[in-house]
Amino acid sequence: MIRWFLLINLWDYKVIALIRILIALGIVSGLIQLFKHKKGKLVISESSNCQDEFDAFNENLEIPPSKMKRLKQARKAIQNAIQKYFENQKDFTTPKFYLQGSYASGTMIRNSKDQCDFDIGLYFFQEPSKGYSTIQNHIKKALTGHTTAGINLLSRCVRLKYQGDFNIDMPVYYTTDGKLFYLGNRDKEEEWELCDSKIFKDWVINGTKDNPQKIRIIRYLKAWSDHYHSQKRIKMPSGLVFTIWAIQFYQPNERDDVALVHTSAAILKHLNDNFQFTCTCKMPVTPNDNVLDRLSKKRQSNFCDALHGLVSKGFEAVSSDKKTKAIKIWGKLLGKRFPDLDIS
């Protein structure tokens, strides 16, 4: 019996070592096949099934009702203040508002600091007579005193900060025909670019339709990235990037832990197969730009190393013959919001 136990563990270590070699060589496609191979002593183990823990983890990522109430109150106050302000500005029409981003698509999470980001699109239905930078300054003037931590004018949005609670980002758009929409962007010479987040929201909703697991995988990847950043202080890709990749490279499984590992491995394979020096993530709708362009080559390399670790340790977790070991691994990968071992 002892000899058999040692053989199992020896095989376990050999499998893990092989995973790391495959990752180092970029041969990630071998990972999924390795654990589908029925003749191996250790395939994906039923003993490692952490579905209950992942269900609880998904709930822990939800925005608490008290925070959501404050967020909705802030949104209403902001919209009222902006509408009242622009009604008295002869150079502008009164804008309208549309929810967008992760809240609108159902993929929003609270981060490890118990904070979240909320997006409200501000739309003008005629071409503004003033430039985007001027509009941002007007918005800041309209909202002075409405936040607890100030207002930042970013290249593509106005950010309202609520200390220790949430951020509200307000991108600005205009349209003259209700078909083509232009997003304000101070990084562009003309300050406007063809773009409409409502189209991307529809892309996400269609891409996750009738598939709640795909939405959960997006949330898990965001949570992993947030935890890794909080531990390593390494800048990671945005939630937008993980949303696109999770939809494009989703690998279904009846277990969320296995689906997360296989999807992560598929993303890693895509990066290794297609990009030698720099990575890209193309926006699937207009303007079809690279949403990874703000990550330097060094930061992209750091991210790929982190993703290697997620795949390697994730396979170690799902192949473990002990659930306690799997829970410990997932806890280290995903942080304190992942349920701890129940020792009662």
Which residue bears the tokens 């309209």?
Answer: 142
Mean pLDDT of 164-178: 94
CB 248 within 8 A of CB 269: no
Considering the entire predicted model, what is its pTM? 0.85
DSSP letters, 202-263, are: HHHHHHHTT-HHHHHHHHHHHHHHHHHHHHH------HHHHHHHHHHS----SSHHHHHHHH
Mean pLDDT of 201-207: 95
Q: Per mean pLDDT, which range of 60-64, 231-235, 241-245 is the poorest? A: 231-235
Instruction: Give me the pLDDT at residue 342, please.
Output: 61
Q: Are strands 116-124 and 182-184 parallel, antiparallel or unpaired?
A: unpaired
Which residue bears the tokens 């100030």?
Answer: 150
Report phi then psi at 118, rounded to 5: -130, 135
pLDDT at 20 over 70: no
Instruction: Give me the pLDDT at residue 37, please.
Output: 42
Domain boundaries, the chain: 16-48+210-334, 65-196
Torsion region of 191: left, alpha or beta (phi above 0 gives left; psi -120 to 50 gives alpha): left
Instruction: Give me the pLDDT at residue 343, please.
Output: 44
What is the token pair recorded at 206? Answer: 């269609």
CB atoms within 10 A of CB 52: 11
Q: How far apart are CA 90 and CA 85, in angstroms?
A: 11
Mean pLDDT of 53-70: 96
Q: Are strands 192-194 and 158-162 parallel, antiparallel or unpaired?
A: unpaired
Q: How far apart are CA 235 and CA 229, in angstroms?
A: 6
Instruction: Give me the pLDDT at residue 29, please.
Output: 45
Q: Which CATH architecture has domain 65-196?
A: 2-Layer Sandwich (3.30)
Mean pLDDT of 184-188: 91
CB 126 within 8 A of CB 178: no
Instruction: Give me the pLDDT at residue 280, please.
Output: 87
Angle between helices 256-274 and 239-248 in degrees, nearest 10: 100
Q: Per mean pLDDT, which range of 95-99, 195-199, 317-321 is the poorest? A: 195-199
